[in-house]
Structure 1
């Protein structure tokens, strides 16, 4: 199993860059460069369509763009049985949901592992997301991490396999943050992403780099909270972009 695919997706930063661009906070050239770095070149050809669809939906209480992630035991927050939900589950990469001027219509953009994107139009209401605030998401992730640490300690787990686990975690956390975020990203969202990156790096260090699966149940329980933090961070950042413009 690819642990990284469960705890990180380039769609997090892709969504934030798109949101900043839609609200006029990033130039098109900067967006295209970021999409290229994130492997989202397939979106470059439909940027005009994305702007046209969302241009009349930039105002409002909800963010114009949000991130949908899912994983084992957690279906994507899309209409059950829809083509968009099936494509998202099949790719395992997540999806972007764009608001439309019609409140009953949503546009779901789903990437595949070959770099192509599929665009689905949903004309029925989608399941309501959790709408966690950054503080709520951070608290849940912190609580889950502390509980996992307690269980690991109680198990008596010890290892000498990796000589410098802290260095490895730091290196992986740097990877997760590449290629960075737009300058307009609010501090609260950036801090939430950073915490999610660090927890993801810890999980990957133990399970993949050390090839040690004795504490998988304790670590894998963190996946859902990492994904929730990323989705909450994107929703908050894009919502704040709207308040800046």
Structure 2
């Protein structure tokens, strides 16, 4: 199992860059550069279609673009059994949901490992997202991390490597943050992404880099909260972009 795909997806930053661009807060050249760094070159050819789809969407507080992530025991928040849900599950990288002027229509963009993208149109309501605020998502992630640490301590687990994984964790956190975020991203969203990156880096350090699986149950329980934090941060950032324009 690829641990990184469970705790990080390039679609987080892709969604934030696209949202800033759709709201006129970052130029096209900067967006294209970010997409190239994120492996999203396949979107460059459909940027015009993305803008046309989003033009005229009601500014009713719901973000024009949001991120959908899923993992073991958690199906993507897309119509069950549909082609989009199957593609998202198969790709494992997540999906971008773009609103339409028709409130019953959604456009779902899904990448695969080869860098190709599929565009699906859903004409029925999507499952309602959690709509966690950044504060709520941060609190849940913090609580889950604290509980995982308590369980690890109670298990009697000890390793010198776990006590000082700073270099590896720092390197991974830097990787997660590449190519960074647009300047307009709200501070609350950026803080939430940073916390999610650090928790994800700790998980990857222990499981993948140290190849130690004795505390997998404690660490794997954090995955869902890391994904929720990323989805919440994207929704908040894109919603705030809309309020700035």
* Fold shared, TM-score > 0.5 on shorter chain: yes
Following superposition, the deviation at residue 162 of structure 1 comes to 6.6
Aligned partners of 1:163, 1:140: CA distance in 2, in Å?
24
Instruction: Return the offset for 1:84.
Output: 0.3
TM-score w.r.t. structure 2 length? 0.98
Match of 2:106 in 1: 106
Q: SS at 2:55's partner residue?
A: helix
Q: Which residue of 2 aligns with 1:89?
A: 89
- 1:109-134 per-position Cα deviation (integer Å, ceiling 9, x unaligned): 00000000000000000000000000
Q: How do 1:79-158 residues align onto structure 2 when only pairs under 5 Å count?
A: 79-158=79-158
Please give the residue correspondences for 1:21-40 in structure 2 after superposition, counting only pairs within 5 Å: 21-40=21-40
Runs of 4 or more consecutive aligned structure 1 residues displaced over 6 Å after TM superposition? none
Partner SS for 1:97: strand
Corresponding residue number in structure 1 for 2:19: 19
Q: Which runs of 5+ in 2 are unaligned?
A: none
TM-score by length of structure 1 reads: 0.98
Name the structure 1 match of 2:69.
Answer: 69
Q: Residue 15 of structure 1 contacts residue 96 of structure 1 at CA under 8 Å; is this kept in 2? A: yes
Aligned residues: 245
Give the stretch that moved more between structures: 154-163 or 131-140. Answer: 154-163
Contact 1:172 1:201 in 2 (8 A): yes
Work out the CA distance in 2 between the residues paired with 1:53 and 1:14: 17
C-alpha separation in 2, matches of 1:157 and 1:29: 49
Q: CA RMSD in A?
A: 1.0
**Relative to structure 1, is the Cα distance of residues 167 and 58 closer, same or farther in structure 2, using a 3 angstrom cutoff?**
farther
